[in-house]
Amino acid sequence: MKDFNQNDLTAVVEADRAHVWHHLLPHKPLESSDPRIIVEGKGMRVWDQKGKEHLDAVSGGVWTVNVGYGREEIADAVRDQLVKMNYFAQSAGSIPGSRFAERLISKMPGLSRVFYANSGSEANEKAFKMVRQISARHHGGKKSKILYRHRDYHGTTITTLSAGGQEHRNALYGPFTPGFVSVPHCLEYRAHEQGLEGEDYGIAAANAIEEVILREGPDTIGALCLEPITAGGGVIVPPKGYWERVQEIVEKYDILLHIDEVVCGVGRTGTWFGYQHYGVKPDFVTMAKGVASGYAAISCCVTSERVFDMFKDAPEDPLHYFRDISTFGGCAAGPAAALSNMDIIEREGLLENCTAMGEYMLDQLNALADRHEVIGQVRGKGLFLGAELVQDRTTKEPADEKKVQAVVADCMQQGTIIGATNRSIPGYNNTLCFSPALIATKGDIDEIIESVDGALGRVFG
């Protein structure tokens, strides 16, 4: 507990209740309960307005604070940069912008250019716009369609929702941008109806993408956009053989590969980027959340030189270059924070810690599954893990969504913040999500597991 001045905080709660529209929350319940306001954070812990301490097992709620809270060196780097030079439109460069681009590219062999923006949605839209411009200028308007996968999510704007494979996130927001086509997901746990498993399923799931390409016509498809490991759609680790086959397919049909690393990027799965587990060769990689661990708003759309070259090959054409700007893509706080964030990850060996602690946590979750029949499957990579809850292990019928939320609420009561797939896939909002900061220790993980153990026992008996 922390002893915060309750007079000040009562006024804050009142102001919040009167004027703040919270993200992702239905507001009716807040009329009869206090909004939660997070006042302080340090390491893996946060404190709410009542002074209650919580162990954060979801890195700021949405896989963001990869290096943990209270990092003074990032705050100092941002402050030093802001007093020297806070902002100039990114048509000019900045010192941290150039340095971070070079540093980032050193982690991404085969890629060479960084386009700065502010959110994951925006970074994805940059890639979509690039694909459309390549189509218009290099393919006579063909190859303009973009494939996306069922259960993946790429952002909140109307166009990124058009590439969104989560029905509940899209509902009521149409009409959508045309030219986006869905391919099936690759969740092996739910492939039992097809009677396939392991590599056989992995190849079949990738071949399902090829079927869509052939149905639509390969000369209509410009890009395939995928999360390396699906995040909010249920922590879906691709099956064996999947990515290798996807790579063959995009090469066969000359389709650009866009990997959305907004969640997996910058260490979350134990490598700098999720796609690096699978040896794939993307043309676009987009990233946001962990790039600066939430210390500043920054996102990046990184491309290959092949893509970049397609925007400078005809200088006599006034429309040949990428005519795009995000005002705050020029704010120097973003790359200054991102450089410092990367320093910390390297100096403290956080990729290695993420791999080791991820394996430990996976083992502990599997041990929980031995005790709780309701856990149908545990999956994940690094400190990016999920436990899918089912009513029956044979039929795999998903657990009741309300009970899944009750587990999250019970953990919260105990002082541990966990997540769950929520309001995304109809019928399948049944996966508990864990993404502690990359600094997590065995002690932290034991505490998370103990909370989940207790909550599962109370909610499911």
Q: Which residues bind ligand PLP (CB under 6 A)?
A: 62, 119-121, 124, 153-156, 227, 231-232, 260, 262-263, 288
240 neighbors 204 (Cβ within 8 angstroms): no
Closest to ligand PLP by CB, 159 vs 355, is 159
Closest to ligand PLP by CB, 58 vs 374, is 58
**Minimum distance from CB of 260 to ligand PLP (Å)?**
5
Say how far apart CA 124 and CA 286 lie, in whole Å: 6
**Minimum distance from CB of 105 to ligand PLP (Å)?**
21
Say how far apart CA 72 and CA 95 lie, in whole Å: 21
For residue 159, the one-letter residue type is T
**Minimum distance from CB of 246 to ligand PLP (Å)?**
17
Strand partners, 378: 387
**Minimum distance from CB of 413 to ligand PLP (Å)?**
25
Say how far apart CA 52 and CA 55 lie, in whole Å: 10
Closest to ligand PLP by CB, 153 vs 434, is 153
Closest to ligand PLP by CB, 249 vs 288, is 288
The pair of structure tokens assigned to 13 is: 């709660």
**Minimum distance from CB of 165 to ligand PLP (Å)?**
11
Say how far apart CA 46 and CA 452 lie, in whole Å: 18
The pair of structure tokens assigned to 208 is: 């399902």
Say how far apart CA 357 and CA 360 lie, in whole Å: 5
Q: Where are the beta strands (DSSP E) in 227-317?
A: 256-260, 284-287, 299-303
273 neighbors 108 (Cβ within 8 angstroms): yes
Name the one residue in this structure whose structure tokens are 């869905």. 182
**Minimum distance from CB of 299 to ligand PLP (Å)?**
6
Comparing every residue's Cβ against ligand PLP, the nearest one is: 120
Closest to ligand PLP by CB, 130 vs 288, is 288
Closest to ligand PLP by CB, 121 vs 421, is 121
